[in-house]
């Protein structure tokens, strides 16, 4: 089983996503060491075009690459076990489908939650100053 996993991770198309996953892991190690900033390249990307919302690009790209790797690995193992005709074409399709499905899942999983009703007590919006939120929590009559 371990050799099946390693051979799938080192074969096309998963090897492309394995390389990307190594880069992501290296980036997060640099962030942990304080050498890089987790949102250092957010200014370079248009979050609205990528449908990232308010999630930092580094987080959404990391999740997307990890999901693409996982989907590609699972697909590669499934294809290796069944050995269908036209295996190379199916691996090419997997190379396209894995990141597409990963991006679809990522944009939905990291989507900000729906805005709560303004009448809902105890919920602060992103426009509410932090001090006003604490004041409202400590003294509900003062918030009105």
Q: Are 92 and 13 in contact (CB under 8 A)?
A: yes
Cα angle 113, 96, 17 (rounded to 5 degrees) comes to: 80
The structure tokens listed for 132 are: 């006003």
Q: Are 9 and 15 in contact (CB under 8 A)?
A: yes
pLDDT at 43: 62
pLDDT at 119: 54
pLDDT at 38: 78
Residue 133: Cβ-neighbour burial (10 angstroms; 0-12, 13-18, 19+): middle
Cα angle 130, 132, 134 (rounded to 5 degrees) comes to: 70
Residue-range domain boundaries for the chain: 2-112, 117-144
In 3D space, the residue among 75, 47, 73, 44 whose CA is nearest the CA of residue 60 turns out to be 47
pLDDT at 101: 96
How far is it, in rounded angstroms, from Cα 69 to Cα 14? 6
The structure tokens listed for 112 are: 């900000």
pLDDT in tens, 12-54: 999 999 999 999 999 999 999 999 887 776 666 665 666 666 7
Model's pTM, two decimal places?
0.72
pLDDT at 99: 96
What residues contact 102, with CB distance under 8 A and at least 6 apart? 64, 65, 67, 68, 70, 71
How far is it, in rounded angstroms, from Cα 72 to Cα 3? 17
Below-70 pLDDT ranges, the chain: 1, 41-53, 112-144
pLDDT at 32: 93
Residue length of the chain: 144
pLDDT at 50: 62
pLDDT at 29: 94
Instruction: Dump the DSSP string for 109-127.
Output: HSSPPPPPPTTSTT---TT
């Amino acid at each position: 089983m371990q050799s099946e996993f390693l051979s799938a991770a080192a074969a096309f198309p998963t090897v492309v996503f394995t390389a990307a996953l190594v880069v992501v892991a290296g980036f997060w190690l640099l962030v942990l060491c304080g050498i890089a900033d987790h949102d250092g390249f957010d200014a370079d990307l248009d979050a609205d075009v990528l449908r990232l919302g308010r999630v930092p690009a580094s987080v959404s790209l990391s999740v997307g690459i990890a999901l693409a790797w996982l989907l590609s690995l699972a697909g590669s193992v499934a294809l290796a076990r069944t050995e269908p005709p036209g295996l190379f074409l199916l691996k090419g399709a997997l190379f396209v489908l894995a990141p597409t499905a990963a991006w679809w899942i990522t944009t939905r999983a990291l989507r900000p939650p729906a805005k709560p009703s303004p009448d809902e007590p105890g919920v602060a919006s992103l426009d509410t100053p932090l001090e006003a939120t604490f004041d409202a929590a400590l003294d509900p009559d003062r918030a009105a």
